[in-house]
Amino acid sequence: MKELVFLLLVVTEVTSRTRSSWCERGCDCRGDLKFTICSRALFTQLPGRVAPGTELLDLSDNNISVIPERSFSKTRKLRVLLLQNNNISVVEDGGFSQLEFLQKLDLSWNQISTLTEGFSIGLASLRELLLTHNRLTSLDSLSFVHLDSLQRLNLTSNAIYTIQVRSFSSMSSLRQLHLNGNRLASLRNGIFSMLRSLELLNLAGNHISEMEMFVFKPLVSMTLLNLANNHLSTLSFKTFQSIHTYSTHILLEGNPWNCDCDLQRLFRKLRSIQRLFLDDYYNLTCEEPAVLQDYRLMDVDTELCIAETVTVLVITITVVITVLAAMLMGERKRKKKKRGSTGRSRGSIQMSLTTEAHTSPSLCPFSPSSFARTLGCR
């Protein structure tokens, strides 16, 4: 019995030593070592020892600042890598190049300001990328070039103000794109090209005041478009008419709408399109004109446009009457002038004949009496 107890103690000690060699100090290696938790371990750099079979590695809430090249060459089986809440400002080219099975990468709440082409090398299997609350200011055509399988991209709360054409062109599988809480002022044609699988596009909380006519046309699978809390005062009907999905829900609340009749007619036409659903139409409020500020758009619809229609009708009728009166007066003057001209012509002929009769007395003796009197003969 004592020998059995001694043997168990030896096995336990050996196992403990082996486990300690697998796990970095400050980490917790659980179960069969597929989960390695190193959260809040005060790391300033990536740990040197992680079990090769680890599938989930949690390095959140540390002070890591750099992801060196080929950092995870010994943990190629990783499927989930959590690096949120660190101080990462530099991701060297090929930093994740060994993670061919990685499906989720969380880099939220860091200091990343640029994404080079080398950032995405090796991430061909990645399905979810979180880059919220970083310092990104622009996206170009090389930012996500190797992310062929990506389905969810979250760029919320950065400082992105420009997106180059075809920045997302490699993401034919992307289903969700979150760009809310950035500094976009306009949306240009081509920035969403190739996103034929995109279902959710979140653009809320930007500075968007204008959108080109066909910017949403490539999004043939979009079911939710969130444009709430931007700087839109009006819309172009053709911008939304170009959306050809079977059913798209659109959010527009929190924009400074200019509630004129053109906007009323626009929303009336948009609401008549059966494939588009303006989910928050009844919450839209006016910013301009000043007399309608904070009024709900639906409350000023009928009164505003009826008044404008009546005004336009009165002006139109007045103009028509004025033009007709001017034409009638002109016609009368023309006829009067014509009659006056005819009378003067007849008078001139009579005076001419009378004068000729006086100056040609030889005509009188040979003229009948009535004709002689006409000529002024005695």
Residues of the chain with pLDDT > 90: what percent? 61
Mean pLDDT of 265-291: 93
Question: Given this model, what pLDDT does residue 301 score?
Answer: 62
Q: How confident is the model at residue 368 (pLDDT cuts 50, 70, 90)?
A: very low
Among 55-69, 258-272, 319-333, 361-375, which is the least confidently predicted range?
361-375
Judge: domain 23-135, CATH 3.80.10.10. Answer: yes
- Nearest of 227, 177, 185 to residue 204 by alpha carbon: 227
Mean pLDDT of 174-202: 96
Among 78-87, 238-247, 261-270, 366-375, which is the least confidently predicted range?
366-375
Mean pLDDT of 176-204: 96
* Per-position DSSP letters for 105-173, written without gaps between them: EE--SS------GGGGTT-TT--EEE--SS---EE-TTTTTT-TT--EEE--SS---EE-TTTTTT-TT
CATH numeric code, 151-321: 3.80.10.10
Q: How confident is the model at residue 267 (pLDDT cuts 50, 70, 90)?
A: very high
Question: Given this model, what pLDDT does residue 372 score?
Answer: 42
What mean pLDDT, rounded, does the chain reach?
A: 83
**Would you put residue 223 in left (φ > 0), alpha (ψ -120 to 50) or beta?**
alpha
Q: How confident is the model at residue 30 (pLDDT cuts 50, 70, 90)?
A: confident
| pLDDT tens profile 302-338 | 555 665 555 556 576 776 677 777 777 777 777 777 6
Among 8-17, 44-53, 299-308, which is the least confidently predicted range?
8-17
| pLDDT tens profile 116-130 | 989 999 999 999 999
**In the predicted structure, residue 45 carries a pLDDT above the cut 50:** yes
**In the predicted structure, residue 239 carries a pLDDT above the cut 90:** yes
Residue with tokens 């009006």: 234
Mean pLDDT of 153-171: 95
SS (HEC) of 213-231: CCCCCCCCCCCEEECCCCC
* Per-position DSSP letters for 324-354, written without gaps between them: HHHHHHHHHHHHHHHHHHHHHHHHHHHHHHH
**In the predicted structure, residue 18 carries a pLDDT above the cut 90:** no
10 Å CB burial of residue 321 (0-12, 13-18, 19+) is: exposed
- Check residues 78 and 333 and name the one with the higher pLDDT: 78
Instruction: Read off the pTM.
Output: 0.76
Per CATH, 23-135 and 151-321 having the same topology is answered yes
Residues of the chain with pLDDT > 70: what percent? 78
Mean pLDDT of 122-141: 96
Domain limits of the chain? 23-135, 151-321
**In the predicted structure, residue 10 carries a pLDDT above the cut 50:** no
* Rounded Cα distance, 271 and 283, in Å: 15
